[in-house]
Amino acid sequence: MPLPPDLPVVDHHCHLHPSGEAIGAVRRFRAAGGTHLFLATQNYRPGPIVRLDTYREQFATTIDLAARIRSETGVVVHVVLAPFPVDLLAAAERIGLPAAADLHRAALDAASVAVADQRAVALGEVGWPHFPVPDDVGAAAASVFDHALGRARDVGCPVVVHSDDLDATGYARLAASAARAGLPPGRVVKHYARSIVDPVHRRGIVPSFLARKDLAATSLADPGPWFWETDFLDDPARPGAVLDLATVPRRARAWVEGGGDPDRLRIPFIDSVAAVYGFTPTTSPSGAG
């Protein structure tokens, strides 16, 4: 049984590199049945980022790449921009921790302008390192994250959070941070979620589940909102990492072909997008999607 023709198929989080597969990977995604991508920026040059102009160039590259994808493949692309939280550590080694934190706040301000100008739809990835760091680095990362939440509140957009995997306590802490900033928890997405936590304990935070076979199948029993993502890295040194870009449409098709209710796929592909981002994806490639 094929996927319903009016069902959009959305990968909520991926990265693409102009020097990687890029358009080729998106063509593979579309051939598998994919229609919409949320494209998160990434570092396109090696080495620490210590200048705001470098972040501005990075964001412009992501926006330009999204435009190419739309033009050449017909896939709808939504851009997500922010300095990567872990970049803070390498920058601090070069310019000192206070200056690195100031740089990240300025880069978040630049990303917020792109959201306000409708060149991007969210700030991300924002958050904190997913591994232990010294107390001063942790405090600086928390301060930058608070700034991200405040900028998202100001421009009225979601944030996509990079962090360690969260349990009920972690979701509660994240919800408390959003509340202090005045950002509704339903506009906070936990990217790369690998654990199913009861919605009651998610405190309104929205998980974006890594679309591994077992996790994708389990997540379909969740009432939502939630997303599926591949976190495809488009890294020539690690082909297919984290998951191949065609994974989400393949999971959707396997669910329907196995007798699953196609309406369950409305949760990650339609209802959750509408709830978090405020627009409804369609299968038409025209417009914002």
Q: Give residue-wise pLDDT tens across range 218-274.
A: 999 999 999 999 999 998 777 778 999 999 999 999 999 999 999 999 999 999 999
pLDDT at residue 285 greater than cutoff 60? no
Decide if 227 is inside a domain.
Answer: yes
Q: Which amino acid is at 231?
A: D
pLDDT digits (tens, 9 = 90+) for 5-50: 999 999 999 999 999 999 999 999 999 999 999 999 999 999 999 9
Phi, psi of 127 (to 5 degrees): 145, -130
Q: Coil, helix or strand for 146?
A: helix
Q: How far is it between the farthest Cα atoms of the chain?
A: 57
Q: Is residue 284 part of a domain?
A: no
Q: 133-164, pLDDT tens digit by residue?
A: 999 999 999 999 999 999 999 999 999 999 99
Amino acid found at 245: L
Instruction: Evaluate whether residue 286 is within a structural domain.
Output: no
**Count of the separate structural domains present in the chain:** 1
- Does a structural domain hold residue 283? no
| Mean pLDDT taken over the chain | 95
CATH number at residue 120: 3.20.20.140
Which domain, by its residues, includes 179? 10-277
Question: Is position 155 within any domain?
Answer: yes
